[in-house]
A and B are shown apart, each in its own frame.
Chain A
Amino acid sequence: MAHVSRGFRGRRREEAPSERLPPGQYLTDDFPVLSAGPTPHTPLAEWDFRLTGALEEPRRWSWEEFRALASEEVRVDIHCVTRWSKLETVWAGVSVDTLLEGVETEAAFVLGFSDGGYTTNLPLEDVTAGKAWIAFAYEGEPLESEHGGPARLLVPHLYFWKSAKWVRGLRLLDEDEPGFWESLGYHTYGDPWREQRYWGD
């Protein structure tokens, strides 16, 4: 191991019930902002959410149409691959199941795509059956742009890089296609409970 720095402890990391924290994670009080580029600022009048790719009929919702869909409050723990976890985060969002209602597809995978070019890949079954939302509010307030507003993907059972900020749609795919981080070393699936951070984990 590297030289140990006498007396260094790092940011005080809270104790937490260990069954709530995946291996190698620590609790944080704040909400770190991680970003791969400048914050996009798409006006709501221009924003839309699309379902594209391997489906019979592509779908599109404007902001008004999207917000008119049934939404729900979600209270979940989130885990970042950079090792911080935040418990009991509260979001409001539209379930991806709602967006996929009536969609005919044989796709097994999706690629979430965002303003600014970010992408992330997931198996379709990991964004359905109540496992994923398009979230537009955090802690009762409209989602701030630095945290991915107006809307972000929320997939709390996987590492948080999969919860793409500034999401603009899902492309349905027959075959898996690695996204922005998955193509450069990050694990294609990303289960925090099996500590799947990098390729080969």
Chain B
Amino acid sequence: MDASESRLDGNAVGGVLAEIFATEMTASMGTCAGCGATEPVGALHAYVRAPGVVVRCPHCSSVMIRIVRDEKDRVWLDIRGVSCLEIRRAED
């Protein structure tokens, strides 16, 4: 089985992103620092079966977001692959 069959999308990381950003993130628009494409976070490719989470641009496969969580209380976040993140706060 190819890893692409098991890839998910940004919907699958909605929970962890909401914890980090304190707001719903899957509708936010992320611009890829590699190729400039802009997509909703929910549409990005997410690899969650890894020691951490890797979110990639669906157009050029560049790494946009990386997340590692330890089993206690630390979260490491790398969003250098996102040149711009337009955050939409969920309406209450």
Please give the residue numbers on chain A whose beta carbons come within 8 Å of chain B beta carbons, in ascending order. 32-39, 80-82, 117, 145-146, 161, 181, 183-186, 197-198
Main DSSP-derived SS at the A contact region = loop
Q: Is the CB of B49 within 8 A of A34?
A: yes
Look across to chain B and name the residue whose beta carbon is closest to the beta carbon of A198: B70
Q: Does B76 belong to the interface (CB within 8 Å)?
A: yes
Look across to chain A and name the residue whose beta carbon is closest to the beta carbon of B77: A184
Count of B interface residues, CB-CB < 8 Å: 21
CB distance from B59 to the nearest CB of A (A): 13
Segment among B12-20, B24-32, B60-68 that sits at the interface with chain A: B60-68
Q: Is the CB of A181 within 8 A of B68?
A: yes
Please give the residue numbers on chain B whose beta carbons come within 8 Å of chain A beta carbons, in ascending order. 1-4, 6-7, 47, 49-52, 54, 56, 61, 63, 66, 68, 70, 74, 76, 78
State A32–B4 Cα separation when bound (angstroms): 15
State A173–B3 Cα separation when bound (angstroms): 31
Q: Is the CB of B54 within 8 A of A36?
A: yes
Look across to chain A and name the residue whose beta carbon is closest to the beta carbon of B70: A198
CB distance from B88 to the nearest CB of A (A): 26
| Nearest 8 pairs of A and B residues by beta carbon | A185-B76, A185-B68, A35-B3, A36-B54, A39-B3, A198-B70, A184-B76, A36-B50
